[in-house]
Amino acid sequence: MGYYHWSPMMHNGFGFFGTLAVVAFWVLLFVLVLALFKRGGHSENGSSSKALDILKERYAKGELSKKEFDEMKKEIS
C-alpha cells in the first residue's frame, strides 16, 4: 500500500506547488471578477456628469430655453 499513501499536501501528486497553483488561480480569478464589476459599474457621479454634458450640448444647440435648462439641471444634480 505504499503507492496509495495519502497525505494532506499531496493532492493527486502535485505536492505543495500544485496547491499553490490552485490557490493562485482562485485569487487571480477573484481579482479579475472584481475588476470587471468595478469597470462595468456606473457610479452616480459618472452618469450624472454624462447627463449634464448632454444637457449642456442641447442648450448650446438651442434645443432648450434657459428655463428648461435650469429645471433639468436642477433635477440631474
What is the per-residue pLDDT across 48-60, written as a single tens digit (0 to 9) for each?
Answer: 789 899 999 999 9
pLDDT score, position 16: 77
- CA-CA distance, 12 to 6, in Å (whole number)? 9
pLDDT band at 31 (very low <50, low <70, confident <90, very high): very high
- CA-CA distance, 69 to 47, in Å (whole number)? 17
What's the whole-model pTM score? Answer: 0.41
Q: What is the grid cell recorded at 28?
A: 487571480
What's the pLDDT tens digit per position in 32-52?
Answer: 999 888 876 555 555 678 989
More confident site: 12 or 71 = 71
pLDDT score, position 2: 53
Three-class SS state of 61: helix
